[in-house]
Amino acid sequence: MKYFAYGSNMDPEKMRERGIGFSQRARAILKDYRLEFNKKASHNPREGYANIVSFQKGIVEGIVYEIRDADLAEVDRFEGYPNHYNRIDVKLLLKHGQAVNAVTYIACPNKVRDGLKPSREYLDHLMAGRDLLSESYRRKLEALQPLNEW
């Protein structure tokens, strides 16, 4: 099955550490959404995790993984499904314009708050997927102002 990661799971090492096996990973584009960091972190009330928000003509780049069906339960667990994130089906565009269906996660409305920022460590996990992101999207992520921890 295909799983679309747009947040910290863009880091293939994080996926491996979590015991989520994958046979392939590729760049994917999710249209009509935008990336926000408005999912409340459980350990810091000022920190935000990645979330996607419906936004006409928006684009979110990420990594599509081919995972075993049995590993979806592990992804669910690490994403806090169903209490923190809901699992949704999305249509993605791959490198040559090929459309594929995948599952991804969107934050539950009661876990969202404006004014949050990602930590530097969290952004580093997103940047670990830079090998498959476009140059313009990499620059956009690099320009994000992380949470000032002090």
Give per-10-residue mean pLDDT for the chain (150 aa): 98 96 97 98 94 97 97 97 98 95 98 97 97 97 86
pLDDT of residue 148: 82
3-state secondary structure of 43: coil
Q: At what angle are helices 135-142 and 120-127 packed, to 10 degrees?
A: 170
Domains and CATH numbers, the chain: 2-142 (3.10.490.10)
Token representation of residue 139: 């620059």
pLDDT of residue 149: 59
Neighbours of 113 (CB within 10 A): 13
